[in-house]
Chain A
Amino acid sequence: MSDFWFEFVEITQTVGDGLLFGATYALIGIGFTLIFGAMGKLNMTYAGASLAGAYAGLAAFTFVNAPALVVFLVSALASGFIGFVVYVACFRFIPVNNHLAALMASIGALFFIDEIVIHATDGSPLTFPAMFEYVMFDLGPYGIRGDLLFVFVVCVVSTAGLVYVLYRSRLGLATRAVSQQDVAARLCGIDVHRTNAITFVLAGLLGGIAGSMTAAAVGVLSPLVTIPLTVKGLIVTVIGGLGSIPGAIVAGLLVGGLENVFLYFRGVNERDMYVLLLLFVFLVFRPHGISGTAIDRD
């Protein structure tokens, strides 16, 4: 009985950690889904740009010894800026209906950004600052890592901020108007190119937070993270339902939690394999994702 109890605590602990870390996946998923919602296109650069933002934050840490909070802020701003550059380079001037060209351009930009990072860091992992990493909250038999809790809280706050902007501010309403009725929005005086650019910047800010939070939770930043984070972001986006923000939130937490379940039972080598299988389970049995149909699009 005590063996069972011990195991139960272990599993729930690991799932809880996964849920906390899953918030970063949710944030990345939201970024993908936000851009898809606005333009109907996938921005493959997104996770890479988010990590590049985190690298910019890391530069602030390395060269001027900035405190962790400033590092996170710089990451977000840098990633927002990269988001704008990616929009201009890969989306702004490509004809609206040419989805494949935009997709290829963004994949190219992903590798380009990755190469820049590899070149700048010689491809070696670098330590990333965290906050509250020595804090541990005891909750009965469970322990909650301070740094993970911080990551979770930051992600929740940024998501809440984004939802506020999208659903309560005129800026967000304008971007949603464009995603719902492109032509009508233009004829209501909304500059579609500008709102799209703003969407990319917003998504970029979010991505920079997600990137730096991922790095803070893991403790290191490495170019090797780019592809797994891109893949997980896409998985979250698909499972959540393309274009659905609530879906991305649920899917991010789901992937984070399940990932640790797989980790617990099958070990680190097999973990990502099962996460990918999850993607195919959804694509076959529920291709529209959790939310059924992508909301906010018609």
Chain B
Amino acid sequence: MLELRGLSKHFGGVKALDRLDLTIDEGEIFGLIGPNGSGKSTTINVICGVYPQTAGSVLFRGELMNGKPPHQRLRAGLARTFQNIRLFPTLTVWQNLWVAQNSPGDIARQGFLPRWFGTTRRTRQEIAELLELADLGHKSDELAANLAFGEQRRLEFARAAAARPKLLLLDEPAAGMNSQEIDDLSWRIRRVRDSGVTVLLVEHVMELVMGVTERIAVLNFGHRIAFGTPSEVQRNRAVQEAYLGTSAAEAGPADGSA
């Protein structure tokens, strides 16, 4: 599905990402974790084309993505959410979703006028489904700027799903969420996956990552330091050191909820 080969991103002398290799299989929920500044967000930004990579390559469904602008990557099936919410504030909830419906098949099929000026029954139905997924049906005519924080997060998730991606990149979707909201989010992530979308989850909140992902890669200083199932990763000594510091890891095994 997604393959990163020797992917590097340097900002001046800072190696935010250093020769990262990673393969994500179709249909899985893959977690990417690591301490602050370990290169997680940089990875997402390079994958979806916000930053050009310094070296290495991004292969998506066997196709080389290097040098392609973000909108082309989206049309190839790569969609994402943002850590700091970036909705279109003066568009309504419904319009935010409508604008984001840029899946490749539809674009090719629709003519200029229906694409830019009309809505088909199918697009309306899809938006209705997304509103239901995000539990925002009652707010569909509200401006995005007027939504509460949690609602904005849900809308951002739905907006990324609106493009009907093959791979959904979630950049810290649980930041600032309470336990109940995290449960809802896990349900939402699983539901999207069950509809045939592969998910790459970049996250700090272990409650979410450990509960929902099937495989995890751990980054530190731009390197991959561990890889495996959630329970394997939790037991990994290098991971404990990275998160808790050397002495804490020596003091005894962590209980897993780092």
Please report A residues at the B interface, Cβ cutoff 8 Å.
165, 169-171, 173-174, 176-177, 180-181, 183-192, 295-296, 298
Contacts and interface: CB of A to CB of B under 8 A. Distances in A.
B102 A173 contact: no
B176 interface: no
Contacts of A185: 88, 99
B90 A188 contact: no
A190 B71 contact: yes
Q: Which of B74, B115, B159 has the most CB of A within 10 A?
A: B74
Contacts of A188: 71, 74, 79, 99-100, 102, 159, 162-163
A252 B86 CA distance: 33
A192 B71 contact: yes
Contacts of B75: 189
A33 to B, nearest CB: 15
A181 B82 CA distance: 12
Contacts of B163: 188-189
Given A186-B69, A188-B162, 17 more contacts: A165-B117, A170-B116, A171-B116, A173-B88, A173-B95, A177-B88, A181-B86, A181-B87, A181-B88, A187-B50, A187-B74, A187-B79, A187-B80, A188-B79, A188-B99, A188-B100, A190-B99
A205 to B, nearest CB: 15
Interface string B94-133: 0100111011000000000001110100000000000000
29 contacts: A169-B116, A170-B99, A170-B119, A171-B117, A173-B88, A173-B91, A177-B88, A180-B91, A181-B86, A181-B87, A181-B88, A183-B50, A185-B99, A186-B69, A186-B70, A187-B48, A187-B70, A187-B74, A188-B99, A188-B102, A188-B162, A189-B74, A189-B100, A189-B103, A190-B71, A190-B99, A191-B69, A191-B71, A192-B71
Q: Which of B48, B69, B100 has the most CB of A within 10 A?
A: B100
B228 interface: no
A188 B164 CA distance: 11
B99 A173 contact: yes
A127 B117 CA distance: 38
B95 to A, nearest CB: 5
Contacts of A173: 88, 91, 95, 98-99
B67 to A, nearest CB: 15
Contacts of B69: 186, 191
Nearest to B119: A170
B102 A189 contact: yes
A165 B70 CA distance: 25
B116 A176 contact: no
Contact of A170 (B80, B86, B89, B117): B117
A296 B82 CA distance: 21
Contacts of A181: 86-89
Interface string B34-65: 00000000000000101000000000000000
A295 B91 CA distance: 12
Nearest to A165: B117
Nearest to B169: A187
Contacts of B74: 187-189
Q: Which of B70, B79, B119, B162 has the most CB of A within 10 A?
A: B70
Nearest to B90: A296
Contacts of A177: 88, 91, 99
A180 B88 contact: yes
Interface in B157-178: 159, 162-163
B102 A190 contact: yes
B117 A169 contact: yes
Nearest to A297: B90
Nearest to B48: A187
A34 to B, nearest CB: 15
B100 to A, nearest CB: 4
B168 to A, nearest CB: 12
Contacts of A170: 98-99, 115-117, 119
Given A170-B98, A183-B50, A184-B82, A189 B91 contact: no
A176 B89 CA distance: 10
Contacts of B159: 188
A181 to B, nearest CB: 5
Nearest to A182: B86
A171 B116 CA distance: 5
Contact of A180 (B89, B102, B119): B89
Nearest to A190: B71
Contacts of B70: 183, 186-187
Q: Which of A171, A174, A188 has the most CB of B within 10 A?
A: A188
A19 to B, nearest CB: 29
Nearest to A298: B89
B117 A176 contact: no
Contacts of A187: 48, 50, 70-71, 74, 79-80
Nearest to B145: A298
Contacts of A183: 50, 70, 86
